[in-house]
Amino acid sequence: MAHAYDDAYRRSLDDPEGFWAEAAAAIDWDRRWDRVLDASRPPFYRWFKGGMLNTCYNALDRHVAGGRATQPALIYDSPVTGTVRRYSYGELTDLTARFAGALAAQGVGKGDRVLIYMPMIPEAVIAMLATVRIGAIHSVVFGGFAAKELATRIDDAGPKVIVSASCGIEGNRTIHYKPLLDGAIGFATHKPARCIIVQRPVAPCVLDPSRDIDWQAAIETATPARCLPVEADHPSYILYTSGTTGQPKGVIRDTAGHMVALKWSMANVYGMAPGEVYWSASDVGWVVGHSYIVYAPLLHGCTTILFEGKPVGTPDAGVYWRIIADHGVRALFTAPTAFRAIKRDDPHGKLIGQYDLSRFRTLFLAGERSDTDTVQWAERMLGVPVIDHYWQTETGWPMVANAVGLGQLPIKYGSPTKPMPGYDISVVDADCRPLPAGEIGAIVVKLPLPPSGLLSLWNADQRYIDAYLSEFPGYYKTADAGYMDEEGYVFVMARTDDIINVAGHRLSTGAMEEVLSTHPDVAECAVVGVADQLKGQVPLGFLVLKAGVDRAHAEIAAEVVAMVRERIGPVAAFRAATVVARLPKTRSGKILRGTMAKIADGEAYTMPAAIDDAAVLPEIETALKGIGYARVN
Ligand code: COA
Ligand code: AMP
C-alpha cells in the first residue's frame, strides 16, 4: 500500500489545483477564489486569484469566534528579564486590533509598509499581525543588523511607520536599539513619518517628540481596527535576505498562498493538532520566525512560544528543557547550531533529566545542514524523532521534509528526506539536464512554486528573474547543490553562490567583501566561509594591501573586523582576516574562494585546472597557519 506521503505528493503534482483547493478549505475566505492557479503571466504565477481574505482574521479573530478566546495564543518566556506572560487568543486579538488602530491613526493603510526592528517581545508579534490586519505590508529587520544595513532596508521598503523598542537583551548585555534606529534613519534617504517605540523598563530611551510615539500611549488612545479583506496575492510582507551583493533581496510573500501552505504544513509536516503548544526557537527577524513563531501556529489554533534568550547561558543549557516542561511543548523547531551549543555545554545531557519532557513529541531542525553527530546526540538524549528539513526565505515553508503528520518515513542521516507537496525537485547539470541518482548538481524546482513561494522581489522584478529563473529555464534555482538517491531522498550539500550560513543565519560574503574593499589600505579582498564547530560556518577575510602600505597586518585586520561589525552587524560573526600577497585566481580572473576555504579547513584539495599561478596556494596556506587555520584535521 502506498504511504500517505507518496499519495499526497503524487496528487500535488498530478492535480495541483485540486490538491491546493482542498487545503484552502481550512482557511476562512471573505470571497472564494476564481482560479486556484493563475498561470496567465509566467513567471509571475498567482495562487487563488480572485479570492479575498485577511491573515490576521485567520490567525486571531477566527479562533475567538470559534471558541478559543481563553486559550493561550502566545506565551512570552524571557529568561533574560525573568518574565513569563501568557496572552489568550482574546487578549491578543484585542491588543492587535488596538495597535492596528494606532497604525491607521498614523495614516497607515492598505499597501503601506511598516518596518519592524524589534527584539523578541510580544509587541513584535502584535505589530506584525496588526500590520496585516489593515492590509499594510510589514518588513521585519533582524535586530543583529547594524544601522547601515537597516538603512538599506528602510530605503528599499519605504516604510510610512517604523516600530521599534528602546532595547534588546542579548544574554547579559543590553543592546540599545534607539541609537541604531536613529543612526539608520540618518543614513537613509527615505524618512518614515513616525516611529512607534516600545519603552522597555530595563532601558527606556529618549523619544524625539517631532517623530516618535510611545507604544503604550499609542495603544491606549487607539480605536480598534477591523480586519480588511485583501486580494489573495496582496503582499503580506517583505523579508530581506542576503543576496550575493550588499543589496539584500526583498522577498515578497502573498496572502492566500502563504496561509494555505502554512496551515497545511502544521498538521501534515509538523503533526500538530489545534490547541497544542508549538515552539520555534528562532527570531521574528528570520523567515522561520515569521512562519513558525507567528503565522503557522496561530493559523492552526496552537499556542506559540516567544522565547527571548539563548540556548545556553540564559541561564544554562537546560533552558530549552525547562520551557518544554513548563509549557507542555509538543514540537520544537530550531537550528542545529543551537543543539551544538547545548551539546558543548552539557555533553551528557545531565540537565535534561531535571525536567519532565513526557509531552514532547518531535524535534525539527532546519536553517543549515544537520550534522549527523548532533542529530544522533539529540535522538539519544531526548528519545524522540529528530527531523531535519530544508527550506528558504523564498519559499516560506519546507521544500524537503519528513512529514510526520502523514506518517514518518525512515530517516537517512544527512538528508532532510523527500520533497514536500508541490515541489517538483530535480538535480540538474549546468545545461539543466537531470542527473542520475547520487550525482551532485544544482537543486532546482519546476515552476510554478507551490503556494507561499515568493511573488517577486520588492521593486525588482527583473532581479527576481535574473537571480532565480534565468539560469535554468522553467525552474526555480535554489542556489543549493546536492543530490537525490534512488529512493528520492534529497541531500543538500552546499550553496552554489557566495552565501554562507553562520549559526543558521544566511549571510553574503559579497556584502562583506564590499565592506573590506572600502578600507583605505586594501587593494583587493575575498571572504570565504570556513568550518566552525559551533556555528557551522564563519566568515574569514583575505586582504591584499595596496603597494607601499607598511602598517602592521594585525592592525589592519582588526580594523576590517570592526568595519564589518559596524556596517553589517554583530550577526556576521566576522572575527578574522589575514593579509596575503595575492589571491589565487583562475586564468579568467575568478577568485578561487572554494579552494581557499578548503585550505583554511585543513581539507585536501585538488589543484584547480584553470589556476593562473599555482605558487599562490602555498602562500595562502602559510598565511592561514599564521592565524591558526589550515591545520590538518
Ligand atoms: N540583536 C542584537 N545583537 C544580536 C542579536 C539581536 N537580535 N542576535 C545576535 N546578536 C549578536 C550577538 O550578541 C553576537 O554578538 P557578539 O559578537 O557581540 O557576541 C553576534 O550577534 C552573533 O550572534 P549569534 O550568532 O547568535 O552568536 P552567539 O555567539 O551569541 O550565540 C548560538 C551562538 C549558537 C547560541 C546562537 O547563534 C543561537 O542561539 N542560534 C540559534 C539558531 C537560530 O536562532 N537560528 C535562526 C534561524 S532558525
Ligand atoms: P534562509 O533563507 O535564511 O532560511 O536560508 C536558506 C538556506 O539555508 C538554504 O538555501 C540552504 O543553503 C540552507 N539550509 C536551510 N535548511 C537546510 C537543511 N535542512 N539542510 C541543509 N541546508 C539548509
User: Using one digit for the tens of pLDDT, what is the confidence trace for 135-146?
Assistant: 999 999 999 999
**Residue 156: what pLDDT?**
97
In this structure, the answer to whether residues 84 and 30 fall within a common structural domain is: yes
**How would residue 435 be classed by pLDDT, with cut points 50, 70 and 90?**
very high
Q: CA-to-CA distance for 345 and 349, rounded, in angstroms?
A: 9
The reply to whether 381 falls in a domain is no
Residue type, 354: Q
Distance of CA 205 to the CA centre of its chain: 29
**Residue 1: what pLDDT?**
65
Is the CB of residue 504 below 6 angstroms from any atom belonging to ligand 1?
yes
**Residue 305: what pLDDT?**
98
In this structure, the answer to whether residues 140 and 197 fall within a common structural domain is: yes
- 8 Å CB contact between 449 and 391: no
Q: CA-to-CA distance for 251 and 67, rounded, in angstroms?
A: 35
In this structure, the answer to whether residues 92 and 181 fall within a common structural domain is: yes
In this structure, the answer to whether residues 17 and 100 fall within a common structural domain is: yes
In this structure, the answer to whether residues 611 and 470 fall within a common structural domain is: no
Q: CA-to-CA distance for 513 and 544, rounded, in angstroms?
A: 12
| For ligand 1, mutation pick of 310, 312, 345, 537 (most atoms within 8 Å of CB) | 310
The reply to whether 261 falls in a domain is yes
- 8 Å CB contact between 626 and 578: yes
In this structure, the answer to whether residues 125 and 231 fall within a common structural domain is: yes
Alpha carbon nearest to ligand 2 atom 6, residue = 392
**Does the N-terminal peptide bond of residue 315 adopt cis geometry, omega within 30 degrees of 0?**
yes
Q: CA-to-CA distance for 226 and 223, rounded, in angstroms?
A: 10
Q: How does pLDDT run across 468-518, given as a tens digit for each residue? A: 999 999 999 999 999 999 999 999 999 999 899 999 999 999 999 999 999
Give me ligand 1 centre to Cα 311, in Å: 10
Give me ligand 2 centre to Cα 393, in Å: 9
- Beta strands at 386-388 and 418-419: parallel, antiparallel or unpaired: unpaired
Q: Can you tell me which residue has the cell 503548544?
A: 277
Taking the CA atoms of residue 60, residue 21, residue 287 and residue 67 in that order, the dihedral angle to the nearest 10 degrees is 20
- 8 Å CB contact between 482 and 369: no
Give me ligand 2 centre to Cα 524, in Å: 29
Is the CB of residue 249 below 6 angstroms from any atom belonging to ligand 2?
no
The reply to whether 367 falls in a domain is no
Strand order in the sheet with 194-198: 212-214, 194-198, 161-165, 113-117, 137-140, 237-241, 249-253
The reply to whether 349 falls in a domain is no
**Residue 227: what pLDDT?**
98
The reply to whether 565 falls in a domain is yes
Q: Can you tell me which residue has the cell 571572504?
A: 527
Where residue 229 sits, what CATH number does that domain have?
3.40.50.12780
**Residue 78: what pLDDT?**
98
Q: CA-to-CA distance for 36 and 459, rounded, in angstroms?
A: 26
The reply to whether 631 falls in a domain is no
In this structure, the answer to whether residues 123 and 25 fall within a common structural domain is: yes
- 8 Å CB contact between 550 and 488: no
Residues 6+ apart with CB under 8 A from 22: none
- 8 Å CB contact between 299 and 308: no
Is the CB of residue 104 below 6 angstroms from any atom belonging to ligand 2?
no
* pLDDT (mean) for 32-45: 97
Supply the range of the domain harboring residue 522.
503-626
- 8 Å CB contact between 132 and 236: yes
Residues 6+ apart with CB under 8 A from 399: 390, 391, 392, 419, 420, 423, 425, 445, 478
Number of separate domains in the chain: 2
Q: CA-to-CA distance for 86 and 303, rounded, in angstroms?
A: 10
Alpha carbon nearest to ligand 2 atom 7, residue = 392
Q: What is the DSSP letter of 534?
A: T
Q: How does pLDDT run across 308-319, given as a tens digit for each residue? A: 999 999 999 999
The reply to whether 331 falls in a domain is no
In this structure, the answer to whether residues 584 and 468 fall within a common structural domain is: no
- 8 Å CB contact between 449 and 395: yes
Which of 597, 626, 471, 457 is closest to 537 using CA atoms?
Answer: 597
What are the distances in angstroms from CA 275 to CA 67, 86, 93, 322? 11, 14, 17, 20
Of 419, 450, 482, the residue at which a domain comes to its end is 482
In this structure, the answer to whether residues 457 and 568 fall within a common structural domain is: no
**How would residue 233 be classed by pLDDT, with cut points 50, 70 and 90?**
very high
Strand order in the sheet with 386-388: 83-88, 72-78, 303-307, 277-280, 329-334, 362-365, 386-388
**Residue 157: pLDDT over 90:** yes
Is the CB of residue 168 below 6 angstroms from any atom belonging to ligand 1?
yes
Alpha carbon nearest to ligand 1 atom 7, residue = 143
Where residue 512 sits, what CATH number does that domain have?
3.30.300.30
Backbone angles phi, psi at 154, to 5 degrees: -65, -45
In this structure, the answer to whether residues 10 and 44 fall within a common structural domain is: yes
Distance of CA 81 to the CA centre of its chain: 25
What element of type H or E holds 379? helix 372-382
**Residue 632: what pLDDT?**
66
In this structure, the answer to whether residues 127 and 206 fall within a common structural domain is: yes
Is the CB of residue 371 below 6 angstroms from any atom belonging to ligand 2?
no
Percent of the chain residues past pLDDT 70, beyond the cut: 100
Residue type, 336: P
In this structure, the answer to whether residues 435 and 579 fall within a common structural domain is: no
Residue type, 434: P
Q: CA-to-CA distance for 248 and 572, rounded, in angstroms?
A: 14
Is the CB of residue 338 below 6 angstroms from any atom belonging to ligand 1?
yes
| For ligand 1, mutation pick of 145, 284, 305, 337 (most atoms within 8 Å of CB) | 337
Of 482, 514, 547, the residue at which a domain comes to its end is 482
Please state, rounded to an integer, the average pLDDT across all residues of the chain.
Answer: 96
The reply to whether 239 falls in a domain is yes
- Assigned C-alpha cell, 77: 518566556
